Amino acid sequence: MEYSSFNTNILALLFAGFLATGCGTMSQSSTPPSLPTGGAATSSTIANINRGLVSAAAQPSSPQGDYRIGPEDMLQITLYNVPGDASSTPRTNAVRVSQAGVISLPLLGEVLVTGSTVSGLEEKLRQLYDKYLHNPQVGVLVSDFRQKVSIIGAVQKPGEFVISGPKTLIDLLSMAGGVTPAAGTQVHLYRRAPNGHENYVIDLLVLASNPGSYNDKNINQPVQPGDVVNVPQAGMFFVYGAVKTPGSYPIDRRYTLKQALAKAGGMDIDLSSSDVVIYRRKDPKEEAQAIPVDFDAVLAGSVVDPPIDADDIIVVPVSTLKYVWNRYLFTMILGIRSYVPY
């Protein structure tokens, strides 16, 4: 197995996978990670980060078309080629999205809209109205935004924020007043996706200092309703992948890899591979290292149990063979056996 190290000017998604025990499937990002520096950021670094966030947030934002519609949003639906006094259907309808993510419209009944963009919903409604109206021209306006995202950790104003239109990671960090002096140099974005939970690890230094980062969606992630953004304090290590309790943990004493994985509840033996990877960068001017570790050899005592540093990111990959066996083949075999007469 090959592992790569990467230039410090490249921001990427470290890991898109399940965040909580038993959540969904894991997908590995094809873009390599750019990892933060180890240890705490200096006060001048924090000041520079906050200035960069303010400057980036002042840039023009994305159009409303990128906004994802969700529960409790108020929509104004207009049929432009229908007379205002038409008896078949009103020209304009003001509807609020239900908690189930649907709206109710004349002629159409209930329509699922949650997760749609404005332009996407316009096209969907055009197709639905085409059964009843000739060449329908549909306009959608979000007149009241109700979607929320949360930001926690080492920021000045943690809490929930209403997304009044498209927002990005930089927008949210600026809305939270920037990072505090206790902040490390990472941002973690947690998202509930259709296939499970996803986690993105982002280099805060690159996010705030790269002039082109605001318009680069791989760097400045668009936030979605329900997202949780965490700015961990300095002096943490992070464990993701096939472990019982993925997440961030304070380095309150010396940890080895075995101890760090035990802190995260241990490896998920039904899914985990023994090829653990520790991502580490010692200096912002140096390339990040991907350090492969044969965890079976560590357990056997044939190799040294490596120590864990501040801001290390430990990834326990999912074994493809174990995943297919436990999630599909084993279940299928049990299902077949249940129909075999004895």
Task: Give residue-wise pLDDT tens across range 287-326.
Answer: 668 999 999 999 999 999 999 988 888 999 887 665 555 5
pLDDT at 90 exceeding the cut of 80: no
* CB contact set of 87 (below 8 Å; sequence gap of 6+): none
Quick one: pLDDT band at residue 328, thresholds 50, 70, 90? Answer: low
Per-residue pLDDT, averaged over 12-37, amounts to 34
Q: What is the C-alpha to C-alpha distance for residues 162 and 146, in angstroms, rounded to an integer?
A: 6
pLDDT at 237 exceeding the cut of 50: yes
pLDDT of residue 128: 94
pLDDT digits (tens, 9 = 90+) for 250-290: 887 889 999 999 999 998 877 777 889 998 877 655 666 89
Domains and CATH numbers, the chain: 43-62+147-325 (3.10.560.10), 69-144 (3.30.1950.10)
Q: 231 and 190 in contact (C-beta within 8 Å)? A: no
Mean pLDDT over each residue of the chain, to the nearest integer: 76
| Percentage of residues of the chain with pLDDT beyond 70 | 70
Q: Residue 294 is encoded by which pair of tokens?
A: 């044969």
Per-residue pLDDT, averaged over 122-141, amounts to 92
pLDDT digits (tens, 9 = 90+) for 162-184: 887 778 888 899 889 988 888 88
Per-residue pLDDT, averaged over 15-28, amounts to 33
Q: Residue 35 is encoded by which pair of tokens?
A: 């990892």
